Structure 1
Amino acid sequence: MPASGKSATPSAAARTASPPSLAVLGLGVFLLVLAPLLAWYVEPRAKVTPVDVDVTTVFTGTGSYFDTAALRTRDRQKITITRHVLGDVAASERSGRAVWDVSTTVDTPRTLPLKDPRKAFQWTTERWVTDRHSNAPVHCCAEAPTRFDGDAYLKFPFDVQKKSYRWWDNTLGAAVPLRYAGTRHVQGYEGYRFTGTVAPTRTGSRQVPGRLVGRGGQGQIQAEEWYANSGIELVVEQRTGRIIHAAISPLKTLRAPGSRRDAVVLLRGRQLEFTPATQRAQVRLAKADSDKLALVGRTLPVGTAVAGGVLAVAGAGWVARGRRPGRGAK
């Protein structure tokens, strides 16, 4: 007789996952991993000082200057300071640093229309080299001046804090402490405000006729050059460190050797500050750079994390619910 057989019973339904559910789950996990990478890896590498800069800033205000033709100081004159910053891209790429060439002219009503730095009341050139991440000075690439330090000059470090910074004053030839002094809106954009002063300091000497400094009987003498600044104010965009407004009140004078009194005012600026056009341009650049950093450092990581969490939960639920009936054995 044939052996009696047992009837087949359906096997337990096997859990299976459909390809779409696995794809959703995988995408969710990928986005969750990507979010911290954007915040901790991509953003720090995006915070680098640009090298392809070509920016002109203009200060204006009233003041006094020494007219060498008339041998006297002219008061209540318009003073204009123009600074042009041009990045040396080739040198920056070779060195891995930010290399900026800076030309600064000081003009009076007589020299400004000439539009020639060689004929300006004063013209200086510098070559600044800084670390692209920290903004610290770097001594390479034929920088000038060769002896400089500080935390800030043409810009502040990224992620500006509410603390004091050392700002390099090229006229003084030294760093000046600037204190955090609250916030200020410039063209509707908020920045951190820093202020400081420079006490009268001897910065050099200059050969002049003795009578110019009260020493008429001595012919040519080496008069002392002195510098002070009664008010430095810088307003800085917090995320990028870009200066969106600046105001200075420089005073350059001559003294007779050993004297404690100023004999001649070479240059006095009363609240020379960024023009409205310069403010708008600086705010526009600061906002664009800040928005880019916020995108990779906050908006994308948060959005990616939220999307990843939603997709991971949905994908996991879909996989858990996915079933395919098993086939019974015959």
Structure 2
Amino acid sequence: MRRTASPLSLILLGTGVFLLVLAPLLVQYVQPRAKVTPIDVDTLTVFTGTGSYFDTRRIETVTGRPLTITRQVRGDVADSVRSGRAVWDVSTSVDAEHTLPAAATHDSLQWTLERWVTDRRTNEPVHCCQESPAFDGEAYLKFPFDVQQRPYRWWDGTLGSTVTLRFAGRATVQGYEGYRFTGRVEPARTGTRLVPGRLVGQPGRPQVLAEEWYSNHGIELVVDRRTGRIVNAAIGPRKVLRAPGSAKDAVVLLDSRRLEFTPATQRAQVALASADNRRLRLLGRTAPLGAAVAGTLAAAAGVVLLAGGGRGRARRAGRAGR
């Protein structure tokens, strides 16, 4: 008598085989392709602290005043899709109390608008899509995925060059642990500015092309290890004017020992890093493990039903033949 398999056993066996094939695909194919820089970003990060700045209303440097840096990052989805890159527009303003809110950028102490374009997998700069200025390095608004305990070249927009940040251990931000990287910037000339001569110690000259110099007391970034997202940042910018050819600071334009993410910004960054990690963990660990376990159980059940059903039919056929 011809044996026929039950539909349930075939369904279980087929489902089990499918899940067993799916499990390694999730690890080897799906999860790596999920490790890409998002293009639909819209984030606001705020640094606060105290320091000095040149008050144009009083024509002098004031000290010990609250300072705020506000950075808005928006992804250009259309250009990102068209180019296959991550295209982000970045607006950064430095404000004193009297120039807030930061939305009124024409009043800010300093305001810059940049376009940051990166490879979505490696985080390396890509020179296309009206990038401005031309960036370099390995990290700026984020680090690459799977951060290592090694030095990274971090782009400093004010310096117009990269700064080496070195691994400095682990740090906890709002209960979330990440890798800590630190560095500093020695004084470097970054440009010139036409100012009254008296501002830089040359009262006999009505106008002087003064030199702008920049340094940074300290850069400290705490980075999520898996996604490269920066969950806390602290910087210590210093910008001064010097008379042409002078080695002496004449005017302090901006100086702060430490401007750091606000607690609200830290919490927001930690929430984003946590969500990214859950998604990657689901694709790289939870879903493959679940598929492997469920596939094994389903396939085993299908084999048992198939074998049991075949033996039962054989026994019934034997009894009928006697």
TM value normalised by structure 1: 0.91
Q: Which amino acid aligns with 2:217?
A: S
Answer with 1 or 2: which has the greater Rg.
1
How far, CA to CA, are the matches of 2:277 and 2:256 in structure 1?
A: 32
Aligned 1:150-229 pairs, distance under 5 A: 150-229=137-216
| Match of residue 261 from structure 2 | 274
| Match of residue 128 from structure 1 | 116
CA deviation vs aligned residue, 1:238-275 (integer Å, no higher than 9, x gap): 12111111000000011112222211111002210000
Gap change, CA 1:231 and 1:213, over 3 Å in 2? same
How far, CA to CA, are the matches of 2:149 and 2:12 in structure 1?
A: 44
What is the RMSD computed on CA atoms of the aligned residues?
1.8
Counting aligned pairs with the same residue, the percent is 66
- Deviation, structure 1 residue 71: 2.1
CA deviation vs aligned residue, 1:257-316 (integer Å, no higher than 9, x gap): 222221111100221000011111111111111111111111101111122223223333
1:230 equivalent in alignment to 2:180: no
How far, CA to CA, are the matches of 2:300 and 2:185 in structure 1?
A: 61
| Match of residue 10 from structure 1 | none
Q: Which amino acid aligns with 2:122?
A: S
Asked whether the equivalents of residues 16 and 319 of structure 1 are also in contact (C-alpha less than 8 Å), the reply is no
- Larger deviation, residues 63-72 vs 114-123: 114-123
Q: Which amino acid aligns with 1:153?
A: Y
- Deviation, structure 1 residue 30: 1.2
- Name the SS of the counterpart of 1:49 in structure 2: coil
CA deviation vs aligned residue, 1:128-165 (integer Å, no higher than 9, x gap): 111111111111111110x2111111111111112111
| Match of residue 92 from structure 2 | 104
Instruction: Give the structure, 1 or 2, with the largest relative contact order (CA under 8 Å, sep 6 or more).
Output: 1
1:20 equivalent in alignment to 2:5: no
Aligned residues: 317
Asked whether the equivalents of residues 93 and 102 of structure 2 are also in contact (C-alpha less than 8 Å), the reply is no
Gaps of 5+ in 2: none
| Match of residue 299 from structure 1 | 286
Q: Which amino acid aligns with 1:81?
A: I
Alignment equivalent of 1:137, drawn from 106, 120, 125:
125
- Name the SS of the counterpart of 1:253 in structure 2: strand
Asked whether the equivalents of residues 116 and 135 of structure 2 are also in contact (C-alpha less than 8 Å), the reply is no
- Larger deviation, residues 316-325 vs 176-185: 316-325
Q: Which amino acid aligns with 1:249?
A: G
Alignment equivalent of 1:72, drawn from 32, 53, 60:
60
- Name the SS of the counterpart of 2:256 in structure 1: strand
